[in-house]
Amino acid sequence: MRPIIGMTTYVMPASWGVWRDLPTTLIPYDYTAAVTEAGGRVVLLPPDDLDTDVLRMLDGLVVSGGPDIGPELYGAEPGPHTVTHPDRDAAEMPLLRAALDRDLPVLGVCRGMQLLVAASGGTLHQHLPDVLGHERHRVAPGVYSDHDAVFTPGSRIAGLMGADVTINCFHHQGVSDPGTLTVTGRAEDGLPEAVEDPERRFVLGVQWHPEVRRDRRLFGALVGAAAERI
């Protein structure tokens, strides 16, 4: 029996066939394929802020990438470059907190890592060029930039990544304070790129996009942790 992995999604206008600009629940196929290839079964989770009961049927959770999280989630006012989707915030924050309370295995990707930081009492830089003085973490619309990360020896992410430490980034916000999480990976400029909670079964956030490469190291680790619950 394959572990059931819930995955948060967007609601965006989309077009296909004869249909144009219909509000659509969607997620890039690489996300679902990465979980499937790692041995899991995906259930898509549209934004739903009514309850978190779906967690009773899940073995793990992927909090996917997307737009900026609302700065009110970490006690800040929105800056001029911050673009949010409040429907996702309203649905995903309670879902994530409930998953953490249940010790459900969680993988946060890009926005998902940032939401994980906010849920853990941390804060974000809202526009990295203002802090770092460069735009190498988001070089152009729809273009990933490659970096060689440095991982903390003995950490979960170091064990998973091994000798291949190249990561692919597309983000203009980043972690300022990780809260109760532990930073276990950084880019060459020192920006946190991975966070973990070593006290929990499996809680990992990565600022890059492992789904694009269908990285079995990360998604396989999530599915493996989820399988232990079955």
Give the span between the Cα atoms of 64 and 210, in whole angstroms. Answer: 11
The answer to whether residue 169 is catalytic is: no
Torsion of CA 133, 137, 143, 148, to 10 degrees: 130
Q: Which residue has the tokens 């020896």?
A: 153
The answer to whether 45 and 6 are in contact (CB under 8 A) is: yes
Identify the DSSP state of 70: P
Q: In terms of DSSP H, where are the helices of the chain? A: 29-37, 86-101, 111-119, 128-132, 156-161, 216-227
The answer to whether 77 is a known catalytic residue is no
Please pick, among 92, 193, 196, 211, the residue that the annotation labels catalytic: 211
Q: Which residues of 1-39 are buried (b: 16+ CB within 10 A; e: fewer)?
A: ebbbbbbbbbeeeeeeeeeeeeeeeebeeebbebbbebb
Report the C-alpha gap between 92 and 74 in whole angstroms: 14
Per the residue annotation, which of 110, 137, 147, 193 is the catalytic one? 110
Given 125, 147, 171, 209, which residue is catalytic?
Answer: 209
Active site residues: 110, 209, 211
